[in-house]
Amino acid sequence: MNVALEIFIELSIILGITVLIAGIMRLLKQPLIIGYILAGIIASPYFLNIVHSTEIINVFSQIGVALLLFIVGLSLSPRVIKEVGGVSLVTGVGQIIFTSIFGFFISRLLGFSIIVSLYIATALTFSSTIIIMKLLSDKKDLEKLYGKISIGFLLIQDIFAIILLMFISSFAGKINAASITINIAFLGVLLIGALILISVYILPALSKFFAKSQEFLFLFSIGWGMCLAALFYYIGFSMEIGALIAGVALSMSPYHYEISSKMRPLRDFFIILFFILLGSQMVFENISYFILPAVIFSLFILIGNPLIVMALMGLLGYKKRTSFQAGLTVAQISEFSLILIALGVKVGHLTKEVLSLVTFIGLVTIAGSTYLILYSHKIYPLLSRYLDVFERKKAGEGRKDNLKGYEIILFGCNRIGYSFLNTFMKMRKRFLVVDYNPDLISELIKKKIPCRYGDLDDSEFLEELNIGKLRMAISTIPEFETNLLLIEKIRQINKKTIIIVVSHKIREARKLYDKGATYVIMPHFLGADYASMMVNKYGLEMDRFLKEKKKHINKLKIKAGLGHEHPKAEKHR
């Protein structure tokens, strides 16, 4: 039989199994990622032994990884990197240090040698960027504060992992890490510098040319991402970093949302093959040898790693909910962990039993963390009262006297929220801004704007606020459950408060009205409504429209200076 036809049939059978398992996961309301990994295990040599064209599937999975990180890079503008760079660096480095220290001592207590303990401890520090990116994307949390911070410290981990893998590889005689590090760093700096210049001065202008043809825009996007990923790999960096930087370079383009939308279906297909391959390569030899250590290490990753991140973020002044959600993103080991241990086996430092141990830890922690992340909004209320130790009560709270006598509260000073500030000042009403980003609170304090550091999802925090005499509450936070909580809390005490909330879905907006919302802002429709009001008010008078144009341009300049961008538009039926 033709080799190409054999590969086609093999992929078809594997995808058929995946569809079946994913369908079962869907019926059971379980994460599809678990289904993909289970499909890989079923197709592995331990069960049906279907996977033979490993190299071909590996190429497809690498394409999926590159596309995933390329799309993530499109949402990582320099503004976002600046916003969370500090906390990402501190938590990323701190988590690596503390996890490796605790992991080493646990390994020694379990009887492993020093060299094996060093390998295991280091492997436990890496979290799966690919899996977390997929989960955050599915939850639409990439734009949230905890999502941005998580992406930041996961990238710190990846950079450390790449450097470490280069060092370990030198023992195998493949490369001399000490001699090439300076050259690679120099080439990397030159390449990134050139990309910065291209993304600022060339790509925005060229994007207009590309956007004239949707097909050409799609082709250019794939070519740009893949070529840069290959270039970074060629000079000694990882393909993943190259794909990510390619996306960041295009994030300055006005068409980056459209590019991301067009690339997503392609990404979803190829990334499925990555998870299938991951499952098919799981090793289950000598289970009795590693079952107890695997359970202990898995519990350490699922519980200990989040606690480490929560402690670090708490010291930096972040609210316990943000710290909790970010902490859950490190509750699994990475594909880099498996690569590191496999490399240790290859150079003779480790045995295959250790590889089996870490592989089993990977399966348990990937599955466990997937559930923790997807259902974090349900888990947090159950643990909230026990997490106060991870929160600095005085961090970024704002002035205490702001909690007395105010008439208006603005929850969330984001793109929409900023528009209300000038209005409040003109009204000469006492108002308070509530936000869970300590950096934003610090900026508001500098501007002497009344503010309070808090999380709207925290029912205890809401009870601290003087909402009994509140005349208006405005929430610019788009989460449906969060706004429901706010409406219920206020309506229990005050039936006359004007409550304005935000929603992106008609069905949810109607439910918010039913629960007692006074008005629901729907950004996708609001612009058209305002434009139609102008047409009705101004008729065909050009001068009046030009005055509106001038005012709008001035407002856009102010918002651009603040780093505001319009969020990605969602498609609704």
Domain CATH for 297: 1.20.1530.20
Sequence-distant (6+) residues with CB within 8 A of 336 are 126, 157, 158, 161, 165
The model's confidence at residue 165, banded by pLDDT at 50, 70 and 90, is low
Selection from 408, 327, 319 nearest residue 92 by Cα: 327
Is residue 359 in a domain?
Answer: yes
Residues 408 and 372 in one domain: no
Say whether pLDDT at 303 is over 80.
yes
| pTM as predicted | 0.67
- Give me the mean pLDDT over the 7-30 stretch: 88
pLDDT tens per residue, range 267-288: 888 888 888 887 787 766 666 7
Range of the domain at 33: 3-390
Give residue 402's pLDDT.
44
Residue 168 in any domain: the answer is: yes
Q: Based on the fold, state whether residues 186 and 93 are members of the same structural domain.
A: yes
Q: How much helix, strand and coil, in percent to the nearest 5, is found in the chain?
A: 75, 5, 25
User: Do 422 and 361 reside in the same domain of the chain?
Assistant: no
pLDDT confidence of residue 119: 92
The answer to whether position 213 is within a domain reads: yes
Cα–Cα distance between 40 and 282 in angstroms, integer?
A: 9
Do the beta carbons of residue 444 and residue 433 sit within 8 Å?
Answer: yes
Strand-pair partners of 498: 472
Residue 263 lies in a domain: yes
Domain count, the chain: 2
Residue where a domain stops, chosen among 327, 362, 390: 390
Task: Mark whether 323 and 423 lie in a shared domain.
Answer: no
Q: What is the CATH number of the domain that holds 430?
A: 3.40.50.720
**The domain boundary residue, chosen from 390, 408, 425:** 390
Q: Is residue 560 part of a domain?
A: no
Is the domain of 383 the same as that of 428?
no
Sign, CA torsion 548/549/550/552: positive
**Are the CB atoms for 432 and 408 separated by under 8 Å?**
yes
Do 217 and 352 belong together in one domain? yes
> Does residue 567 sit within a domain?
no
Q: Report yes or no on 551 lying in a domain.
A: no
pLDDT-derived band of residue 295, with 50, 70 and 90 as boundaries? very high
- Report the C-alpha gap between 159 and 124 in whole angstroms: 15
Q: Do 281 and 163 fall within a single domain?
A: yes
Count the neighbouring beta carbons within 10 Å of the beta carbon of residue 153: 27
In a shared domain, residues 305 and 436: no
**Do 358 and 423 lie in a common domain?**
no
Q: State whether 379 and 433 are in the same domain.
A: no
Q: Are residues 382 and 510 in the same domain?
A: no
Q: How far apart are CA 357 and CA 499, in angstroms?
A: 54
Band of the pLDDT at 570, cuts 50, 70, 90?
Answer: very low
- Residue 466 counted as domain residue: yes
CB 133 within 8 A of CB 68: yes
Q: For residue 432, report the phi and psi dihedrals to the nearest 5 degrees.
A: -135, 135
Q: Are residues 385 and 420 in the same domain?
A: no
